[in-house]
Chains A and B, each alone.
Chain A
Amino acid sequence: MKFTKDHEWVRLEGDVATVGITRHAADALGDVVFVEVPDAGKAVSKGDGFAVVESVKAASDVYAPVDGEVIEGNAALSTAPETVNADPEGDGWFARIKVSDAGQLDALMDRAAYDQYLTTL
């Protein structure tokens, strides 16, 4: 699993990346009350907002960690946004993206580097 500075995680299996927000992000947001995930077929570019997460405190964009095309958005989140708080790095995934350049993941942080990054915030 790899991590971005904007607190997204990405797990690559074959050429498909599953993407979500980290435990740190979910905790910082507080109770999530609304999630908007992209539809299948949507083209995304690294760094662009591709989903929205809204908590009692704030609404935030979720940025695509890689270029690619959305295969599936996690539709379950629209009726059960609390899943993002309960299991952010598992059932609370946002989208599965067919990655166009797996090399882009090399620039992201691994768990140890991300944990180290969190201590600097």
Chain B
Amino acid sequence: MSTMNTVGRPTTPNQVETRPATLTGGRGLLQNEALIFEGDGWGKTGVDLPEPKGDASDLGDLVRKDPIGLPGLSEPEAMRHYVRLSQKNHAIDLAIYPLGSCTMKHNPRLNEKMARLPGFSDIHPLQPQSTVQGALELMDQLAHWLKTLTGMPAVALSPKAGAHGELCGLMAIRAAHEASGEHEKRRKVLVPTSAHGTNPATAAFVGYTVVEVAQTDDGRVDVADLASKLGDDVAAIMVTNPNTCGLFERDILEISRLTHEAGAYFYCDGANFNAIVGRVRPGDLGVDAMHINLHKTFSTPHGGGGPGAGPVVLSEALAPFAPAPWVVSDGDGFRLIEREEEDAAQAFGRLCAFQGQMGMYVRALSYMMSHGSDGLRQVAEDAVLNANYIKARLSDLMSAAFPEGPCMHEALFDDEWLKGTDVTTLDFAKAMIDEGFHPMTMYFPLVVHGAMLIEPTETESKAELDRFIEAMRALATAAKAGDVDRFKGAPFHAPMKRLDETRAARAPKLRWTAPEGSNLAAE
């Protein structure tokens, strides 16, 4: 019996240790959240709008007669809906986010402050150029930094993401082959087996036949296999460096030389540029085109599918084919070169309606200028150091996929060490959620069995890395000790339990439908 104060409030904690399921499905100040369509907010509105004056419409018979079918919510209801959902999710602002190949680094708040300056945030792409000189100058400066860091003479800023950048690069390559009359015979693009899936998808989308290049036992491009497949029917190769196994392609100069000898172009997937920025200039490696994910190397937010930016740097040979527009400075200030102009006569077209993602340009340049060239070099060094620290501290319990030598910015393990435990990579990843850690990338790259790809990024402190490592070690020890139940049903402590991925993929529900007999018809 606990003691009470004078108003009957207990003064010592109770000692009950059993944990009954809750009566409502809520958990620890977190309510179960219905879909926004399933609330009780129909017919409400969160703003005080004046009654429309008359219902005259120019649409005649086309005027909608049925309810529009959108939920009505007050402002606090709308806020709570999305905040509750966000509380069930993970974010880089909560903890390490070690998804390999994704570079989930901290998004500095200085970037956000700069992006909210009214001169950047309150402008419109159709404004007269004389009124947005500052924004154009920023684009020019960003282009300068990207060209300087990569050692490349030209850059197309407008692609909206990495894969869009790949499309830009391959379209420039195709335009170059068309200009030289070789397009008809050069129909193949070579892609290593460890590539990001977007590489073959891009090549196929541009109309090329994809030919796979084998990988060596130590995780690099098989140069002999590449050489045997290069010829006058090859338009380009697409190589990621460092590659998706987290390894530097040590034969990169030979790969570049062989490619150019065959008359093909070298497309570099720059997704992993964050591991070498400030240390290696892709232009010095003979790269002809490379996209740069601003949301990886240059710390802009990943967003929920956008907005992103994937500028593409281009070599001398491809520069004339760069898509419009781009910024020039001609003494009278800055202006955009559009496709109709003579300078852009060979441009293959344009990739988006306007100039690209201005908000991301501001954030990326803010990151570059606040770090300086020395700071950016340290970004690469620390990213590599952090990954190697993880690799070194886990390699006694888990099996590194490529144990020889250091890795670059990500540490790759396979599932060899789980053999005989009845625990799979998937089970292990789900158990990490219970321990408070977002899982690493799993089952990618495809060339490694049961792959676990861990990318800590440079923004994690040693203390956070140690917490992550201790959790991994505790789980690995439990798996090897036969504590299988901890893994098979995991996650036990997350808002949602183990999801049926197979059913979700085989019978996906792609839109909400109103319950039978309901008047909540969403059209």
Interface residue? B501 (CB, 8 A): yes
Kindly state the separation between the CA atoms of A66 and B470 in the bound complex, as whole angstroms. Answer: 52
Across the interface, do B505 and A33 meet the contact criterion of CB distance under 8 Å?
yes
- Asked if residues A31 and B502 are in contact (CB atoms below 8 Å), the reply is yes
| Alpha-carbon gap, A82 to B501, bound state (A) | 13
Within 8 A of B (CB), among A53-88: 54, 56-59, 81-82
- Of chain B, the residue at the smallest CB distance from A49 is B210
- Nearest Cβ on chain B to A111's Cβ, whole angstroms: 24
Q: When chains A and B are docked, how far (Å) is the Cα of A96 from the Cα of B2? A: 78
Q: Which residues of chain B have C-beta atoms less than 8 A from A34's C-beta?
A: 505-506
What per-residue 1/0 map shows which CB atoms of A81-113 lie under 8 Å from chain B? 110000000000000000000000000000000
User: Are the C-beta atoms of A56 and B505 separated by less than 8 Å?
Assistant: yes
- Which of B197, B446, B501 meets A56, CB within 8 Å? B501
Contact (Cβ within 8 A) B502 A58: no
The distance in angstroms between the C-alpha atoms of A82 and B446, with both chains bound, is 22
Task: Report the minimum CB–CB distance from B201 to chain A (whole Å).
Answer: 10
Q: Is the interface of B mostly helix, strand, loop or mixed?
A: helix
Residues of B in contact (CB 8 Å), total: 7
B501: A residues at CB distance < 8 A: 31, 56
* B441 shortest CB reach to chain A, Å: 12
Q: Are B502 and A57 in contact (CB under 8 A)?
A: no
- Chain A residues with CB under 8 A of B197: 59
Chain A CB within 8 A of B443 CB: yes
Q: In the assembled complex, which residues on chain B have CB atoms less than 8 Å from the CB atom of A82?
A: 506
A33, B502: Cβ atoms closer than 8 Å? yes
Cα distance, A82 to B506, chains bound together (Å) = 9
| B505 CB contacts on chain A under 8 angstroms | 31, 33-34, 54, 56
Considering only residues 470-523 of chain B, those with a C-beta below 8 Å from chain A are 501-502, 505-506
Interface size bracket, A side = 10 to 19
Interface of chain A, main secondary structure: loop
Say yes or no: A57 contacts B443, CB within 8 Å: yes
A33 touching B446 by the CB < 8 A rule?
no
Chain B residues whose C-beta falls within 8 Å of the C-beta of A57 in the assembled complex = 443
Taking CB atoms, residues of chain A closer than 8 Å to B506 are 31, 33-34, 81-82
Return chain A residues, CB-CB under 8 Å to B502: 31, 33, 56
Bound-complex Cα distance A7 to B44 (A): 59
- Report the Cα distance A1→B197, complex, angstroms: 32
Most chain B CB neighbours (cut-off 10 Å) among A56, A59, A82: A56
B393-452 CB contacts (< 8 Å) to partner A? 443, 446
- Taking CB atoms, residues of chain A closer than 8 Å to B446 are 58
Min CB distance A90 to B, Å, is 20
Q: Which of A31, A34, A54 has most chain B Cβ within 10 Å?
A: A31
The smallest beta-carbon distance between B443 and chain A, in angstroms, is 5
**Which residue of A has the minimal Cβ distance to B212?**
A61
Q: Quote the shortest CB–CB distance from A34 to chain B (angstroms).
A: 7
Complex contacts, A54 vs chain B, CB 8 Å: 505
Q: Residues of B contacting A81 with CB < 8 Å?
A: 506
**A69 CB to nearest B CB, Å:** 20
CB < 8 Å neighbour of B443 from A31, A33, A58:
A58
Residue of A nearest to B444 (CB): A58
Q: Which residues of A does B touch, CB under 8 Å?
A: 31, 33-34, 54, 56-59, 81-82
Report the 4 A-B pairs with minimum CB-CB distance, sorted nearest first. Answer: A33-B505, A31-B502, A56-B501, A33-B506
Q: A34-B506, A54-B505, A56-B502 are in contact. List 12 more A-B contacts (CB 8 A).
A: A31-B501, A31-B502, A31-B505, A31-B506, A33-B506, A56-B505, A57-B443, A58-B443, A58-B446, A59-B197, A81-B506, A82-B506
Q: 6 A-B Cβ contacts within 8 A?
A: A31-B502, A33-B502, A34-B506, A57-B443, A58-B443, A81-B506
